[in-house]
């Protein structure tokens, strides 16, 4: 049994067909910002990508060289594994209809290779509502597949609320959690982290980073409750927050010294193959973290790099906004101007 309120369920299809710009758009930050002047001598780069799934792809995507080059500059890439990694789905009908997610290990490996993502520099969150779509056996198979592929994982209850990761000279703590689940709470308990209270999280990191699966889908501006949770996490010592689940890009907010990227959209399509165009805008959120003594873990600069997932037969093409044909580019830039105070800054 899921934990979605009825109003959310009733709004899913209308918002999927027409992603909403409704809500409070005040108080957000530009798409890019320099937060330390002069910049630190030594930095570590984290790149956050959105949800990854095979739902809208039968084969690996084509990734524009500019996006591959950007991802290649990161010391660590963090994303969300939105679909269980299984060879044979157990929820056959639901998987065929798209209500249950699944992707094969071969597809995931090919998709990562197409995007130029080195597995040893990749961490994927399993704290999301779809992780048990193929049952407990599918969950176990997913964990085993990612381990075989050499991909780090976060969001597993067995690892505790925070997973330490060494990134260059920095010790970064990643706390991935989901507020939503598609199955009964008893199935999630002990398997997937749903702990959003940083007061209970261990400390001692150069940077504590939250990777929440939160907010409501297909809404460009986060709900008041989501922003309140971000403020609480910031007060509790979280320095960087990069969220998933909305399937559309959402704005950036600065809360004191904490940087919040509320939603990155999808990296690979997770809804339906013929998704309306606002839901095809995704973002790579890059944060440069100071490694200088006296400022270790401080965010020196950040930038959201938007791109669009175009259909290419039975797969998607990931194209930066500047590489789109004029009419599509104007439409996408108009949507970005509505979401970000300065969408093309930096």
More confident position, 97 or 345: 97
Mean pLDDT of 40-45: 98
Domains delineated in the chain: 42-338 (3.60.21)
What whole-number percentage of the chain has pLDDT above 90? 88
Cα gap 286→33, rounded to integer Å: 11
Q: Which pLDDT score, from 0 to 100, does residue 127 have?
A: 98
Whether the model clears a pTM of 0.75, i.e. scores above it, the answer is: yes
| pLDDT digits 0-9 by tens, 185-194 | 999 999 999 9
Q: Which pLDDT score, from 0 to 100, does residue 344 have?
A: 44
- The two three-digit tokens of residue 238, written as one number: 């979280």
CB-CB contact of 193 with 226 (8 Å): no
What whole-number percentage of the chain has pLDDT above 70? 98
| pLDDT digits 0-9 by tens, 104-147 | 999 999 999 999 999 999 999 999 999 999 999 999 999 999 99
Strand order in the sheet with 252-255: 163-167, 170-178, 207-213, 240-242, 258-261, 252-255
The answer on pLDDT for 346 being more than 60 is no
Q: Which pLDDT score, from 0 to 100, does residue 202 have?
A: 94
Q: Which pLDDT score, from 0 to 100, does residue 342 have?
A: 67
Cα gap 122→153, rounded to integer Å: 9
Give the model's confidence band at 99: pLDDT under 50 very low, under 70 low, under 90 confident, else very high: confident
Q: Which pLDDT score, from 0 to 100, does residue 234 have?
A: 98
Q: Long-range contacts for 330-334 (Cβ within 8 Å, ≥24 apart)?
A: 331/277, 332/277, 332/281, 332/306, 332/308
Q: Which pLDDT score, from 0 to 100, does residue 92 have?
A: 75
Judged by DSSP in three states, 122 sits in strand
Cα gap 331→335, rounded to integer Å: 7
The answer on pLDDT for 345 being more than 80 is no
Give the model's confidence band at 213: pLDDT under 50 very low, under 70 low, under 90 confident, else very high: very high
Residue with tokens 């957000």: 28
Specify which of 4-13, 83-92, 246-255, 335-344 reaches the highest per-range mean pLDDT.
246-255
């Amino acid at each position: 049994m899921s934990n979605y309120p009825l109003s959310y369920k009733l709004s899913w299809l209308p918002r999927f067909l027409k992603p909403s710009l409704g809500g409070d758009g005040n108080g957000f930050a530009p798409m890019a910002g320099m937060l330390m002047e002069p910049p630190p001598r030594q930095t570590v780069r984290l790149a956050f990508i959105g949800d990854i799934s095979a739902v809208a792809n039968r084969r690996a995507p084509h990734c524009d060289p500019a996006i591959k080059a950007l991802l290649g500059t990161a010391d660590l890439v963090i994303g969300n594994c939105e679909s269980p990694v299984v060879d044979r789905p157990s929820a056959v009908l639901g998987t065929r209809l798209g209500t249950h997610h699944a992707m094969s290990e071969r597809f995931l490996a090919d998709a990562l290779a197409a995007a130029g993502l080195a597995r040893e520099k990749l961490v994927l969150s399993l704290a999301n509502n779809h992780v048990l779509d193929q049952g407990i056996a599918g969950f176990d198979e997913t964990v085993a597949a990612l381990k075989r592929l050499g991909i780090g994982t976060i969001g597993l209850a067995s690892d505790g609320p925070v997973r330490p990761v060494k990134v260059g000279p920095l010790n970064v703590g990643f706390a991935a959690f989901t507020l939503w689940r598609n199955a009964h709470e008893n199935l999630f308990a002990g398997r997937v982290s749903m702990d959003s209270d940083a007061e209970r999280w261990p400390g001692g990191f150069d940077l504590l980073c939250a990777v929440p699966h939160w907010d409501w889908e297909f809404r460009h501006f986060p709900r008041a409750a989501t922003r309140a949770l971000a403020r609480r996490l910031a007060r509790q010592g979280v320095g960087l927050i990069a969220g998933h689940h909305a399937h559309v890009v959402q704005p950036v907010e600065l809360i004191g010294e904490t940087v919040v990227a509320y939603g990155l959209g999808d990296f690979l399509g997770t809804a339906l193959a013929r998704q309306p165009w606002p839901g095809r805008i995704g973002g790579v959120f890059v944060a440069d973290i100071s490694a200088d003594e006296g400022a270790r873990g401080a965010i020196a600069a950040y930038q959201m790099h938007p791109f669009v997932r175009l259909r290419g037969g039975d797969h998607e093409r990931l194209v930066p906004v500047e590489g789109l044909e004029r009419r599509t580019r104007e439409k996408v830039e108009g949507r970005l101007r509505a979401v970000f105070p300065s969408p093309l800054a930096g």
